[in-house]
């Protein structure tokens, strides 16, 4: 059971939003009850003052969060991070999501050729992109937020310059098609 708890913790670490017990159970091919028991074990282990990471569990789902006692320190850090300009990798990732969204993290990483987990998490925290579950791709997909569209002065992503050419660019389509099989 400890191995299951460690797997759940790893999955939660990668996610930027809460997950349902059912979704975690499906990923790990176990029963929801087993996930709930392991989450309770994780909560006993992590939800102590000596831990920087806590497990937040609600009726809707479970998430990995920071320890609330470090709120002030983290608020200063995130405020500084949110004020800073976007880096070149962040701008590249944001552009890919703008022109190719809704798009999965794996597809973004395939186009960029590098891991984008931290960049995507930062763009989510800044409110520049949204994450939602996709019934067709069966993975979370990312797209621009309405606030980002408003900031750009457009109503829809297809109003971006050269959108038609880049949204369905044949070489990128071929590259992404190689991910499917």
pLDDT digits (tens, 9 = 90+) for 20-76: 899 999 999 999 999 999 999 999 999 998 988 888 887 667 888 888 888 777 766
> What's this model's pTM, rounded to 2 decimal places?
0.56
Torsion of CA 170, 175, 180, 181, to 10 degrees: 110
Long-range CB contacts (within 8 A, 24+) of 106-112: 106/139, 106/179, 107/176, 107/179, 108/142, 110/175, 110/176, 110/178, 110/179, 111/172, 111/175, 111/176
Q: Walk me through the domains of the chain, giving residue ranges and CATH numbers.
A: 2-69 (1.10.10.10), 85-180 (1.10.10.10)
Q: Residues, the chain, total? A: 181
């Amino acid at each position: 059971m400890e191995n299951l708890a460690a797997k759940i913790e790893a999955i939660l670490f990668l996610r930027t939003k809460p997950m349902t017990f059912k979704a975690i159970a499906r990923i790990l091919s176990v029963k929801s009850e087993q996930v709930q028991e392991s989450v309770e074990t994780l909560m006993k282990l992590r939800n102590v003052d000596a831990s920087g990471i806590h497990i937040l569990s609600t009726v809707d789902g479970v998430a990995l969060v920071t320890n609330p006692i470090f709120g002030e320190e983290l608020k200063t850090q995130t405020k500084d991070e949110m004020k800073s300009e976007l880096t070149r990798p962040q701008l590249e990732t944001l552009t890919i999501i703008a022109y190719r969204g809704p798009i999965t993290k794996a597809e973004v990483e395939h186009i960029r050729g590098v891991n984008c987990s931290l960049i995507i998490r930062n763009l989510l925290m800044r409110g520049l992109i949204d994450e939602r579950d996709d019934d067709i791709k069966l993975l979370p997909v990312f797209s621009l937020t309405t606030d980002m569209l408003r900031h750009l002065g457009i109503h829809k992503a297809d109003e971006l310059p050269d959108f038609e050419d880049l949204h369905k660019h044949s070489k990128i389509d071929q590259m992404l098609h190689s991910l499917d099989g």
